Amino acid sequence: MTEVNDTGQQIVGTVKNPRDHAVTAPYSVDVFCVDSSGTLLNEFGGFADVSTDLAAGGTSPFTVSLYGSQCAQFLIGASGYDMTAAGN
């Protein structure tokens, strides 16, 4: 993640491919809402806007809807497919 903002209705931001080679779509973005003790309150998922290979260092915006829930504190992560790990 290079940028993350809570708009009150959505978590929006930018994911970045940190690898030195391209990764393959789709790019899942997961938001885990937690309380001050770290207890999981809710989980929301979405996808990055880019639906093609993301080059080394490439970025993509994303939006994850909170569907009317509040998420004052959260953890966030993203994943794609690294075909080089599979020998491709």
Q: What is the pLDDT of residues 6-24, one digit of tens each?
A: 999 999 999 999 999 999 9
Q: Are 66 and 11 in contact (CB under 8 A)?
A: yes
Pairing of strands 24-34, 74-81: antiparallel
Q: What global pTM score does this model have?
A: 0.86
Report d(CA 83, CA 22) in Å as an integer.
Answer: 9
pLDDT at 87: 57
Residue 36 CB partners (closer than 8 Å, separation 6+): 73
